[in-house]
Amino acid sequence: MGSQGRSGSPGNRGPREGEGGEARQLQEARVARGKRGKGKAGTGRGGRGSGAEGKPGLRPARKAAGPAAEAGPGREGEEGGGVEEGPRSSGQRDEGSAGPGAGRREDGSLERARERGWQAWGGVPGTRTAMAAAAEEAAAAAAEPATRPAAGPALWSLPEELLLLICSYLDIRALGRLAQVCRWLRRFTSCDLLWRRIARASLNSGFTRLGTDLMTSIPVKDRVRVSQNWRLGRCRQGTLLKWRCGQMPWMQLKDASLYISQANSILAYQFRPDGASLNRRPFRVFAGHDEDVCHFVLADSHIVSAGGDGKIGVHKLHSTFTIKYSAHEQEVNCVDCKGGIIVSGSRDRTAKVWPLASGRLGQCLHTIQTEDRVWSIAISPLLSGQLITHLGSDFPPGAGVLDVMYESPSTLLSCGYDTYVRYWDLRTSVRKCVMEWEEPHDSTLYCLQTDGNHLLATGSSYYGVVRLWDRRQRACLHAFPLTSTPLSSPVYCLRFTTRHLYAALSYNLHILDFQNP
């Protein structure tokens, strides 16, 4: 079936209306549905789009229709661009018909025009310029800072200080809805001052109990959003590292790096920008021990490590300097370093104090005798060098402390074999803790970590269970088992940021991603 030309009264058609019919239909298909060509066909030579008098920027009709439109030797328009007309076999086709091949060509051209999308619009005179102007206007509107609405409630006319005070009484849901009103309110409700109060009451938002902001580089609103995932237990589990043989790893975080012990070495890995994955190869390896590394700490520009060979190792972070010296008769279970002082604890029931100064490394300053092996050590921020007190006295045999963490010079947390996490305040009592949380499955607690405010995380001995606690309540908030029965392993160490939690087990280093659950 041939493609029919544009219908109209004979008086309005030029002498060559049939010759340009298919070109006109192809042109209309390009510009868009319902879009009609401008102007009428010329009464002189050639239709619209043909000849020098056609609209600028349009293809000649011969090229648009293609060579298949030439059904036979015919007469071309004097101005060029007219479609050659072949011999007609019947009178059923009107004057605008271009033969049976024109319909197929038109359909194919229409499909190509639809695929090209906006490029088809660009063929219309002035359309490309209008589209460019619209794009520039949209870009300028996006770059322009949001301004206060000129019209609206009288509330908008108040100074920003009063609006901040009013909005400070809103909760998370109300602030979120207010941000959807307009661009100016969206910018206004993203102010850190509005979210600080909410962040201080949230879990792991980067604020300490005294209100100190530890994560100033991240907007407070974003931290509150991620904090809701911690509260609801929404996270994505993954594995960062695997080992072929069982380990008792320990790890530390520093900036965008992760330091983890494997056998007798400490490996330093670089985090990728998302914080949820590591580069495959470590960028530094700190070696020197003859047996496994039991514990290590980061102290300014040094790594101080304790080994099963009874030695202490001192490594510089940014050089190859490494020194080790004999410290105890048996394995060194724990070590801490602060203010140029190293304190170590051993299986030989002693704790020793050492200097970090390069000229005095290996010189024992003081030895403390204890009644049992020393499993954990933490230096008080006071750095007084004196025995302050003993905490507790009514513990049953075997209730050893496996991890200790200071929050302030007068407050600290402890956990261990008796399945309890205890919170101590030296200003109130040294015989009884202020608060305690019990592991519900009666598992030994190997490690703990706190955000300095409301969140507490612990690692259990059975099935690699990591538990999150809200210190304002007694019950466990969430539990995340990281291993199954055949590979059951304690959580030897855990660390977390405001977005991720990392847990080291016997065979794997696991991650809980709370930013992208």
Give CA torsion, residues 483, 486, 490, 494, to 10 deg. -30
CA dist 128 and 121 (Å) reads 7
What confidence category does residue 423 fall into, taking pLDDT thresholds of 50, 70 and 90?
A: very high
Rounded to the nearest 5 percent, the helix, strand and coil shares of the chain are 20, 25, 50
CA dist 1 and 166 (Å) reads 73
Q: What is the pLDDT of residue 429?
A: 84
Distances, alpha carbon 188 to alpha carbons 164, 199, 412, in Å:
9, 17, 39
Across the strands, what pairs with 333?
A: none
What token pair was written down for 358? 């390069």
pLDDT tens for 6-22 read 444 444 444 444 445 55
Instruction: For 428, list phi and psi in degrees, rounded to 5.
Output: -105, -55
Q: Are 351 and 372 in contact (CB under 8 A)?
A: no
Query: Among 125-134, 192-201, 225-234, which stretch is predicted with the lowest mean pLDDT?
Result: 125-134
pLDDT tens for 133-192 read 666 766 665 555 566 666 667 777 888 889 889 998 999 999 999 999 888 889 999 999
Checking if the pLDDT of 120 tops 50, the result is: no
Q: Is the pTM here over 0.85, yes or no? A: no
CA dist 232 and 491 (Å) reads 22
What token pair was written down for 231? 């509260």
CA dist 337 and 482 (Å) reads 31
Walk me through the domains of the chain, giving residue ranges and CATH numbers: 1-71+93-117 (no CATH), 154-230 (1.20.1280)
Nearest to 68, CA basis, from 97, 101, 29: 101
Element containing residue 120 per DSSP (H, E): helix 118-122
Does residue 315 come out as left (phi exceeding 0), alpha (psi in the -120 to 50 range) or beta?
beta
Pairing verdict, β 366-369 and 350-355: antiparallel
CA dist 18 and 41 (Å) reads 11
